[in-house]
Amino acid sequence: MSGLWAGVRGGRGARLKVLLAAFALVLASGCATTNGSDPRDPLEGFNRSMYAFNDAFDEAIGKPVASAYKSTLPEPVRGWVRNFFANIGDLFIGLNNLLQGKPADSVNDWARFAFNTIFGVFGINDIASEMGLEKHNEDFGQTFGRWGSPSGAYLVWPLAGPSTVRDSAGGLLDLYFDPVRRHQPDDARLFAGLLRAVNQRADLLDASRILEEAALDKYLFQRDAFLQRRRGLIHDGNPPRESPSSRERMNPRVQAEPGAPAADRLFEEPAAAGAAVAEQAHSYEPRLPANYEAVVAASRVRR
Amino acid sequence: MPVVDLRAAAAAAAVCIALFAAAAAAQDIQPADVLVKNVTLEVVEIVKRDKDIQAGDRRKVVELIEAKVVPHFNFTAMTASAVGTQWGKANAEQKLRLTEEFRTLMVRTYASSIAAYRNQRLDFRPLRAKPTDTDVTVNVRVLQPGTEAVKIDYDMEKTARGWKVWDVRVADISLTANYRTEFANVVRDSGIDGLIRILQAKNSKALERTPVAGAERK
């Protein structure tokens, strides 16, 4: 979960050194380790090296610092920090909603910014949410996606973490407009950037532990989760159902086991499978094994 | 006049009772959204009250999930969805073992999520489906200040034994779809048995680690 280091945007010199070190590491480990098995991830070898670097950095610095931060500051204080940066973010979330042709959402976001800045004491209290003005999640990468740009290859950046070609381009714009990056003087900017990053990492300590428990291959798990998440965000939580071809590719086609007892009617593979597939071409459903009942019965015996 | 009113009322009541009885006879199963809401609130209530769970008692969380949540999940369908196209190549015994291991993995992941719960507000969205639908998505949102709501979608199918969950999507990330690439790679390299072995190893390794995610929160 080193993506959270996207928050560190100050300290150019130190960051550059780390970056160069990372690239040297990649060159040394060689990009030739590509499996090339996934068309969405042609640079898997490079990405895996970057992931390994980020993971090592997170283990050595990210997680310990975030844990210490979390155990030092009580939740209300961390909440103020979270809200303060979230409030600044609302400005550009509003801009992106406008660019995506959702002016009502922009008004919502800017109203949030106004209320939280004025009545929420510079945004440290999120009173707008309590008033029913919902927090949104938008960035320039999503705006490009909304405009029809394909995501391009999956990319993992040092410290910044998972991205795609499109989202990297968007990320550069996000960075350009980022009020924290533009803040003067340098010390204040560095402090604000680090505070934001550490707070974000602390908020994700539970999530990253869950990821570690759930994944067999953490790289693949994070990549697929990231791509699913971005797809969902671009469609504001209502991504279109999978296309018939990908559905066909993903779908387990289950053959009836000979001699299996009659299955629950709802779980039966339709007799005219071809017709059924044509009929449901626009919906994604997993096919259940025809011997579902037998499987369930057997599992009951086993337990 | 009062007589007429009474008669009308009685007739209306009779019709209501008849309709209700008919509906009850046709299906005495809870609607999907009601089921999700009841189960979620019940589990959250127990987690809030149980000091051991808050202190990170993994065994108690798993027991709670096994008792309250697991009966509403169709793990065979979830495993089939996660394994993807290769599911058809597994024999009955392999399917059983795969399901068993995937179920353990899912219950453990779920236990970690529950242990990480911190009194966030839950928003149960009204179900947008026809009463005749047998495949619906129930939407719950977890609200917390400063961040956008986390959407949890339960894809559910109606069966003779009530509504069963066959996929959970958290913030649009499908838990079953997220395993497809990993599982496909393993099956390609070392077959279905290889996948069973890897899942077993993963599950038994996790058993040794006692603390559950979220246990050290303040």
With bands split at pLDDT 50, 70 and 90, how would you rate the model's confidence at A188? confident
CB contact under 8 A, A264 and B160: yes
pLDDT value for A230:
94
Chain B residue at shortest CA distance from A253:
B88
Query: With b meaning 16 or more CB within 10 Å and e meaning fewer, what string describes B61-76?
Result: bbebbeeebeebbbbb
Sheet holding B173-174, edge to edge: B121-124, B135-143, B150-159, B162-170, B173-174
State the pLDDT at residue A222: 93
The two tokens of residue B73 are 């999940």
- Ordered by start, the domain boundaries in chain A are 212-298
* Nearest to B156, CA basis, from B183, B171, B136: B136
Q: CB contact, 8 Å: A247 with chain B?
A: no
The pLDDT assigned to B208 comes to: 66
Q: Residue A254 is nearest to which of B80, B116, B198, comparing CB atoms?
A: B80
Spell out the SS3 assignment of A11-39: CHHHHHHHHHHHHHHHHHHCHHHCCCCCC
Asked if residue A303 has pLDDT above 60, the reply is no
Average pLDDT of span A60-67: 94
Residues 6+ apart with CB under 8 A from B9: none
Is B215 within 8 Å of chain A by CB?
A: no
Q: With an 8 Å Cβ cutoff, are A206 and B217 in contact?
A: yes
- B contact residues 45-84, partner A, Cβ 8 Å cutoff: 74, 76-78, 80-81, 83-84
**Neighbour count for residue A67 (Cβ, 10 Å):** 14
Q: Is the pLDDT at A253 greater than 80, yes or no?
A: no
A150 pLDDT higher than 90? yes
Residue B6: predicted pLDDT = 60
What residues have CB less than 8 Å from B21, skipping those under 6 apart?
none
Tens-digit pLDDT profile for residues A32-61 = 444 557 889 999 999 999 999 999 999 999
Shortest CA gap B171–chain A (Å)? 6
**pLDDT value at residue B7:** 65
| Cis preceding linkage at A244, omega within 30 | no
Beta bridge partners of B137: B155
Closest approach of B57 to chain A, Cα-based (Å)? 16
Q: A173 near A167, Cβ under 8 Å? A: no
Instruction: Spell out, as residue ranges, where chain B has pLDDT lower than 50.
Output: 1, 24-26, 212-218
Q: Please give the domain boundaries of chain B with CATH numbers for all domains.
A: 30-217 (3.10.450.710)
ipTM of the complex: 0.78
pTM higher than 0.80: no
B128 touches chain A (CB under 8 A): no
Q: Do A224 and B147 touch (CB under 8 A)?
A: no
Predicted local distance difference test score (pLDDT) of residue B150: 87
Q: What is the mean pLDDT of residues A98-106?
A: 95
| Residue B144: per-residue pLDDT | 79
pLDDT range class, residue A241, cuts 50, 70, 90:
low
Q: Is the pLDDT of residue A66 over 50?
A: yes
Average pLDDT over every residue of A65-75 = 93
Q: Which of B159, B176, B182 to mutate to probe the A interface, most A CBs <10 Å?
A: B182
Q: Is the pLDDT of residue A272 over 70?
A: no
Q: Are B86 and B185 in contact (CB under 8 A)?
A: no
Residue A75: list chain B partners with CB under 8 A. 218
**What's the rounded Cα separation, in Å, for the pair B140 and B126?**
9
